[in-house]
Amino acid sequence: MNQAETESRIAAFTAKYTPGIAAATIECRRRVQALFPRGFELVYDNYNALVFGFGPSAKASDAIVSVAA
């Protein structure tokens, strides 16, 4: 999946939230991405929550920080 497709899917997920929650989620993701510019980002739907996990590999168990909305 390319970056445009990923961003489109994330936009579709966050559109399900209120505008305030969606904006806070995207801002939090942006801030964590800035802290881990070369890390792997995992995006998934986990128990009715949109989750962004960041770590040194593509394995979810290696994630060192996650943002859940």
- The pLDDT value recorded for residue 59 is 93
Share of the chain above pLDDT 70, in %: 100
Per-residue DSSP letter, 56? S
Count the alpha carbons within 13 Å of 34 in the hemisphere toward its beta carbon. Answer: 6
- The pLDDT value recorded for residue 3 is 83
Domain boundaries, given as residue ranges, for the chain: 3-68
Unique residue bearing structure tokens 């997920």: 13
Distance CA 47, CA 37 (A): 27
Tens of pLDDT, residue by residue over 6-24, are 888 889 889 989 999 999 9
Share of the chain above pLDDT 90, in %: 59
pLDDT at residue 31 tops 90: yes
**Size of the chain in residues:** 69
